[in-house]
Amino acid sequence: MKVPEDILAFQPEVGLVLGSGLGFFADDRIEVEGRLPYAGIEGFPVSTVPGHAGQFVYGRLNGKRVLCMQGRFHYYEGYSMEQVTLPVRLMHQVGIKNLVLTNAAGGIDPDLNPGDFMLLRDHINFLGTNPLIGDRSEDGPRFPDMSAVYDPGLRTKLKDWAAGQSVDLKEGVYLATTGPSFETPAEIRAFATLGADAVGMSTVPEAIVARKLGLRVLGISCITNAAAGISQGPLTHEEVSVTAEQVRPQFADLLAAAVSFC
Among residues 127, 123, 120, the alpha carbon closest in space to that of 152 is found at 120
Among residues 187, 217, 180, 212, the alpha carbon closest in space to that of 75 is found at 180
Task: Name the β-bridge partners of 163.
Answer: none
pLDDT at position 232: 60
* Beta strand pairing call for 98-107 and 64-70: unpaired
Q: Is the pLDDT of residue 52 over 70?
A: no
Identify the helix (H) or strand (E) that includes residue 70. strand 64-70
The reply, when asked if residue 92 is annotated as ligand binding, is: no
3-state secondary structure of 77: helix
Radius of gyration of the chain (CA): 17
- Is the pTM higher than 0.85? The answer reads yes
Determine the average pLDDT of the residues in 186-203. Answer: 96
Q: Contact, 83 vs 201, CB < 8 A?
A: no
Domains of the chain, earliest start first: 5-260 (3.40.50.1580)
The reply, when asked if residue 125 is annotated as ligand binding, is: no
pLDDT interval class at 33 (50, 70, 90) = very high
**DSSP class per residue in 122-138:** EEEE-SSS-TTTT---S
Whole-number Cα distances in Å, 20 to 73, 74, 135, 248 = 10, 11, 28, 12
Q: Contact, 13 vs 60, CB < 8 A?
A: no
The reply, when asked if residue 72 is annotated as ligand binding, is: yes
Separation CA 48–CA 256 (nearest Å):
27
The residue type of 122 is D
Q: What is the pLDDT of residues 199-253, one digit of tens each?
A: 999 999 999 999 999 999 999 999 988 776 566 667 666 766 777 778 888 999 9
Determine the average pLDDT of the residues in 188-197. Answer: 97
Q: Is the pLDDT of residue 134 over 70?
A: yes
Q: Provide φ and ψ at 17, rounded to 5°.
A: -120, 120
Name the CA dihedral angle for 252, 173, 133, 99, rounded to a multiple of 10 degrees: 30
Where in the sequence numbering do the catalytic residues fall? Answer: 20, 52, 74, 76-77, 104, 201-202, 225, 237
Among residues 54, 33, 135, 152, the alpha carbon closest in space to that of 89 is found at 135
The reply, when asked if residue 73 is annotated as ligand binding, is: yes
